[in-house]
Amino acid sequence: MPRQWAADEYVWRQLADDLSSRIADGTYPLGSPLPPEDELASEYAVARTTVRRALAELRKRKLIKTLHGHRNAVVAMPGPGGLPG
């Protein structure tokens, strides 16, 4: 069943927060790659552009880095407020 998104906040920001939480809880540990954009889009039932915007937010928060081959890898753990710890 697709996730229900809050109507009062951008979906990409909610997705970024959810992925940040999954990094924090160890679903995606330090050094691990995130699933490809199309896989995340399918899992969350959103457009790839929404996923790209969420990933850009995680890069801005310095939680992920894009590596060769366009793979996104976890490089930091979020602290309070979703910022690197």
User: What's the pLDDT tens digit per position in 61-85?
Assistant: 999 999 887 799 999 998 765 555 5
How many residues are given for the chain?
85
Summarize the confidence of residues 26-51 as an average pLDDT.
96
CA 69 to chain centre: 18
pLDDT of residue 1: 47
Q: Does the CA dihedral 49-42-26-30 come out positive or negative?
A: negative
Q: Exposed e or buried b for every residue in 3-13, given b needs 16+ CB within 10 A?
A: eebeeeeebbb
> Which whole number is the average pLDDT over 31-37?
95
Which amino acid, residue 55?
L
pLDDT digits (tens, 9 = 90+) for 6-24: 888 899 999 999 999 999 9
Q: Looking at residue 57, what is its pLDDT? A: 97
